[in-house]
Amino acid sequence: MTGGMRIAIDGPAAAGKSTIAKLVAKKLGYTYIDTGAMYRAITFKVLQHAADPRSEEEIMQLISQTDIELQPGEQVQKVLLDGADVTDAIRSHEVTANVSAIAAMTAVRKLLVAKQRQLAAKSSVVMDGRDIGTSVLPEAELKIFMTASVEERAERRLLEEQQRGMSSDYETLKREISERDKADSERKISPLKKAEDAIIIDTTGKTIEEVTNSIIEYAEKRLAQ
């Protein structure tokens, strides 16, 4: 294989997907696409407009006119919703608590999956999410399924949120992560699931550098084929 490729990174909440995906993209010179940020942006809009989160029709109407833009940055990828910067706002506990229900809706997934495929058609990408290897890019040249123990995931998320100045506690985060994984795994359309041909990487006890390097190695092997 010559040129670029598509790398799909899926896995449960807070497994380190976005941190690693961003670094892998940077090293390879690929575009990083955080699909979770897109579902979060839609959820933010639904909450902002006080739309009924159970009414698919109301939500469809609201999101049909939505523009979501992901802008690459040194530290964080900026998320613009209808032109407004919502990068921090989409990480709130309120958005996190509601995102799985919104992401389970057919209309929402149709809209965002189409957008994700458009983005991947333009350049080589590292895309992270829940259904990238199984549904968005089933032909991706490299698929990774990243996991870690729920305890370590809660610890990492706690540190991340504390650094962002959010008030969080370990037990609440652990519960929130487990509930979100359950909802994401049990939903009807494109649930969180390992693609048959995905490589499992358990990041428990591993450093960011170790995981990044092992994905780069897999990518280089694939590119050499």
Shortest distance (Å) from residue 107 CB to ligand C5P: 13
Q: Which stretch binds ligand C5P (CB under 6 A): 20-28, 127-135, 168-176, 217-225?
A: 127-135
Paired with 142 in beta bridges are 7
Nearer to ligand C5P, 51 or 113 (CB): 113
45 interacts with ligand C5P by CB under 6 A: no
Tokens 């961003």, located at residue: 22
19/4 Cα distance (integer angstroms): 21
The Cα 167–Cα 152 span in angstroms is 18
Residue from 77, 100, 134, 147 touching ligand C5P (CB under 6 A): that is 100
Q: Give 27 or 193: the residue with its C-beta nearer to ligand C5P.
A: 193
**119 - beta bridge partners?**
none
Instruction: Report the distance separating Cα 200 and Cα 215, nearest Å.
Output: 11
Closer to ligand C5P by CB, 24 or 103: give it.
103
Stretch that binds ligand C5P, among 69-77, 78-86, 125-133, 145-153 (CB under 6 A): 125-133
- Residue 44 near ligand C5P by CB under 6 A: no
- Torsion (CA) 56, 32, 212, 9 in degrees, nearest 10: 30
